[in-house]
Structure 1
Amino acid sequence: MVEIGYKLFTEAHSASELVHNARLAEDAGFSFVSISDHYLPWISNHGHAGFAWCTIGGISQTTSRIKVSTGVTCPLMRYHPAIVAQAAATAASMMPGRFELGLGTGESLNEHIIGGIFPTSAPVRLDMLREAVNIIRTLWKGGMKDYYGNYYTVDNAQIFELPEQLPKIRISAEGPMAAEVAGEIGDALIHYEQKPEEVIQTFRASGGEGKSCMVETAVCYGRSVDEAKRTAYEWFPVAANKGELNWIVPTPTHFEQMQQMVTPDDVAKKVLCSSDPQKIIEKVGELADIGYDSILLHQVGPDQERFINLAHDTILPEFGIKPPRVESEGRMVPGPGPAPR
């Protein structure tokens, strides 16, 4: 059965809202949440970019069943791989069997802030990711470790807070080059619906056969199609940017300038804008038919609770997901507290 997840978009919501929404998503029946890990928002209008790892800690204490994944963390510049290894190990210790580490090569928007030069070469970024994953897995073996690579050095490092069950590492891939690396070094795949057929085929052919494949799809459910298009344009214009611009543009101001070059109709070609939940159900079905076993829904815009309730009432039941505890009008009620440690 396909698993359906809910996107926690740190750029558009406060940390407290995200923790609250994660709890609602659990009560609604979502299988997992995936949280973005940004230093800056894409555009200033988003208004947020809280520290994802603090938010994960909050989610660990207010949920008890839903799985949590970073979607995704970049271990290349802003975080040293050794720090990511420690953070992920701690998160997995707080959520036994529920945490998964999503990794990718990131964007200049977030990585350049430490003063380094973000590599414009995709092969270089992927080589750095290979080395970073190697360091993370090495440190997760326990004991004192040293590492001297082409990009990173680890000297006398040991992670003392190791979970009994290590988290899976899910590698992000936008195109076939990254999908090949994901199949090589990852336990699972995450794709952002640029080339869903080509990416999953390449991943499987490169060592990913039998591994979990997740795809994130952006939707904007509104009271009308026009309203949804306006909201998508206001909140997620980056979906319409072409080529590698989203990876190399350094500031929200630049993204706002690019927003002037696209229209609501351009954004609607990449974000499913609809007032009909059946359209979302069909989209999930199409992605599942391609072979993705995990579908991550990113509801674009401020109206998250309404979408979570829609998912609970209409979308999730279409895929056999029927949470048992609801109020008379289909609203979620608080679930049990965190499971005993």
Structure 2
Amino acid sequence: MTRFGYTLMTEQSGPKDLVRHAVAAERAGFDFEVSSDHYFPWLSAQGHAPYAWTVLGAVAHATERVELMTYVTCPTLRYHPAVVAQKAATLQLLADGRFTLGLGSGENLNEHVVGEGWPALDERQDMLVEAIEIIRALHEGGLVTWAGEHYRVDSARIWDLPEGGVPIGVAMGGPKAVERFGPLADHLIATEPSADLVGAWNDTDGTATIGQGARAIGQIPICWDPSRERAVERAHEQFRWFAGGWSVNADLPTTAGFAAATQFVRPEDVADNIPCGPDLDAIVEAIRPYWEAGFTDVALVQVGDEGVDPFFEQAAEPLLDKLRAAAG
């Protein structure tokens, strides 16, 4: 059965509200919760970017049942992989085994802040491979010294380590990425409902089959609101950056860049790509391609902080009922 999650959007809510939303999502019956990990929002209208790892530590203590995940952390520039290994291990202990470390090659928007420049795609992927290898080595519990092409680690050890380490999901955008990262990952992360991607994973040596040991975890924005007009307005104001696609989004460095790149995106363009308004059946149909493509998990993004409380109060539980009935 497909599992449905809720996204803690650090770009649109402050830290205390995010923890409150996490509790509400668990109470509503979501199976898991994912958190973005940003230094900047995409657009200034979103208005937030608290430190995801502090928020997740609080969420781990405020919740009891839901699984937790970063969606996703970049372990290459803003964070050294040895530091990611340490904080992932700590969070897993706080969460009593409910945490999965979601990793990706990052976005210029967040990684430029440390002043190390923004590498080309091939180099970013090389860095991610090496970072995952370092994290895996440290999660085995021994003393690690590493001299690689991109990183050095000098006599590092994780002293507080959960038994079995931390499962790792990796964001992948195509078959070539699956071929490279699949054997390094426990789970597939993707933002498009691609059956080809799931098939490529299942055909790759060294990967567990999706649904039989491995998960395929997707994400989709929705903008529920009693007023469709207000929902479209809010989605356009805060989520039109989504129209650029990841190949563009990865390279833009500032909120001003995203505003300029999306200045000609119309509200109706956003509404064509994000289900907006009170129609729960329309939201179900927008999500359907994920389970039809073989995804085991889908995380929902409720667009806009102002819409989160009404969503939990009025829509979350009946939406989950409809999703579970439709997905079987």
Q: Shorter chain as normaliser: what TM range?
A: over 0.9
CA change 1:64–1:54 in 2 (3 A) is same
Displacement after TM superposition at 1:84 (Å): 0.3
- 8 A contact 1:97–1:165 mirrored in 2: no
- 8 A contact 1:190–1:214 mirrored in 2: yes
Deviates more, 1:79-88 or 1:230-239: 230-239
CA distance in 1, matches of 2:173, 2:242: 13
Cα deviations by residue, 1:80-139 (Å, 9 ceiling, x for unpaired) = 00000000000001111201100000100111111111112x222111111100000000
Displacement after TM superposition at 1:141 (Å): 0.7
1:41-52 to structure 2, matched below 5 A, reads 41-52=41-52
Alignment partner of 1:314 is 2:312: no
Q: Percent identity?
A: 38
Residue identity in the other structure for 1:90: T
Alignment partner of 1:200 is 2:198: yes
CA change 1:175–1:238 in 2 (3 A) is farther
Of 272, 276, 284, which residue of structure 1 is paired with 2:287? 284
SS of corresponding position for 1:73 = coil
CA distance in 1, matches of 2:16, 2:27: 17
- Report what 1:337 is aligned to: none
Displacement after TM superposition at 1:286 (Å): 3.0
- Report what 2:175 is aligned to: 176
- 8 A contact 2:281–2:322 mirrored in 1: no
CA distance in 2, matches of 1:167, 1:226: 43
TM-score, normalization: structure 1?
0.89
Of 224, 227, 233, which residue of structure 1 is paired with 2:230? 227
- Report what 1:163 is aligned to: 162
CA distance in 2, matches of 1:313, 1:75: 35
Displacement after TM superposition at 1:241 (Å): 1.0
1:1-341 to structure 2, matched below 5 A, reads 1-120=1-120, 122-193=121-192, 196-206=194-204, 207-210=207-210, 211-242=214-245, 244-302=247-305, 303-320=307-324
TM-score, normalization: structure 2?
0.92
- 8 A contact 1:28–1:311 mirrored in 2: no
CA change 1:72–1:243 in 2 (3 A) is closer
- 8 A contact 1:108–1:250 mirrored in 2: yes
Displacement after TM superposition at 1:147 (Å): 0.8
Instruction: Structure 1: state its 5+ residue gaps.
Output: 322-341
Displacement after TM superposition at 1:46 (Å): 1.2
CA distance in 1, matches of 2:221, 2:289: 14
CA distance in 2, matches of 1:144, 1:288: 42
- 8 A contact 1:91–1:99 mirrored in 2: yes
- 8 A contact 2:36–2:71 mirrored in 1: yes
- 8 A contact 2:68–2:100 mirrored in 1: yes
- Report what 1:339 is aligned to: none
- 8 A contact 2:139–2:166 mirrored in 1: no
CA change 1:240–1:312 in 2 (3 A) is closer
- Report the count of equivalent residues: 319
CA change 1:293–1:12 in 2 (3 A) is same
CA distance in 2, matches of 1:222, 1:311: 9
CA distance in 1, matches of 2:195, 2:324: 25
Displacement after TM superposition at 1:36 (Å): 0.3
CA distance in 2, matches of 1:126, 1:269: 32
Displacement after TM superposition at 1:242 (Å): 4.2
CA change 1:116–1:205 in 2 (3 A) is same
